[in-house]
Amino acid sequence: MRVFIGYVGEHGSTRGIAERIAATLTAQGHQADVADLADARTAAPDHDACVLGSAVHNGRWMPAAAEYLRRYAPELARQPLWLFSVGLARVLGGPLERWSRNPEPLPSVRDLLAPADHHLFAGAFEREHTTWAGHVFFRALGGHYGDHRDWREIDAWATGIAHRLLPVPPTKEHHRSGCTQDHPGPLTQDR
Ligand SMILES: Cc1cc2nc3c(=O)[nH]c(=O)nc-3n(C[C@H](O)[C@H](O)[C@H](O)COP(=O)(O)O)c2cc1C
């Protein structure tokens, strides 16, 4: 299947995750096209599924990513869709825990779209990504700089998508004979 992988980020870690998802899907036999949603002028035409992600800024998806979802919701609702957020999930705790929750990309997203999953990945955060005041705040609350991306987690998530996009197993006999599927089966596209 041909999968569109769109992302919005600022410092490259979200793009890196999008590219890694694409590599995993490609290795599993799918075709994957990666694009920055800030440059997107149309909904992904000619694709069978979409994976869309954004860095989390101040508890929200970045505006270009949220705007893409809002603008192209009718088209996106017609195909299998996965969402991912990239923030400081599981890296921050205590007073910053609220800051690192997986945000709704849009307040009304559940009315507009029914994604198969919305996963929160840990991203990267370096000293030069914030102001002096932000630095003081971040460190005072126990935040740690660095690249916290978990590539095994990312690969596992992408592999799950790849399996769900596989063609339907050949016959009903296959199920009756007691063969176990190693994936939950393809998504229906007529939601
Ligand atoms: C201005 C700014 C605001 C941020 N706000 C949040 C936030 O509210 N919650 C969070 O979990 N991470 C936050 N982060 C961390 C980023 O989401 C994280 O570093 C992510 O990996 C950045 O992706 P990028 O490298 O693609 O820009 C923020 C980072 C910046 C620079």
Which of these, 180, 135, 182, lies nearest to 159 by C-alpha position? 182
Tell me how far apart the terminal alpha carbons of the chain are, to the nearest angstrom. 18
Which of these, 20, 18, 96, 87, lies nearest to 50 by C-alpha position? 18
Per-residue confidence in pLDDT tens, the chain, 191 aa: 999 999 999 999 999 999 999 999 999 999 999 999 999 888 877 899 999 999 999 889 999 999 999 999 999 999 999 999 999 877 776 666 677 788 888 877 778 899 999 999 999 999 999 999 989 988 888 888 999 999 999 999 999 999 999 875 666 554 443 333 333 444 444 33
From the CB of 59, is ligand 1 less than 6 Å away?
yes
Q: What is the pLDDT of residue 171?
A: 60
Query: What's the CATH architecture for 2-183?
Result: 3-Layer(aba) Sandwich (3.40)
Protein residue with least CA distance to atom 28, ligand 1: 57
DSSP label at residue 91? T
Which of 11, 20, 54, 56, when mutated, tests ligand 1's pocket best, judged by the most ligand atoms within 8 Å of its CB?
56
- Where are the domains positioned within the chain? 2-183
Q: What is the pLDDT of residue 38?
A: 92
From the CB of 14, is ligand 1 less than 6 Å away?
yes
From the CB of 65, is ligand 1 less than 6 Å away?
no
Which amino acid would we find at residue 145?
Answer: Y
From the CB of 87, is ligand 1 less than 6 Å away?
yes
Q: What is the pLDDT of residue 172?
A: 56
| Ligand 1 centroid distance, CA of 62 (Å) | 9
Q: Across the chain, which distance is largest between two alpha carbons, in Å?
A: 65
Which of 58, 62, 96, 120, when mutated, tests ligand 1's pocket best, judged by the most ligand atoms within 8 Å of its CB?
58
Protein residue with least CA distance to atom 30, ligand 1: 57
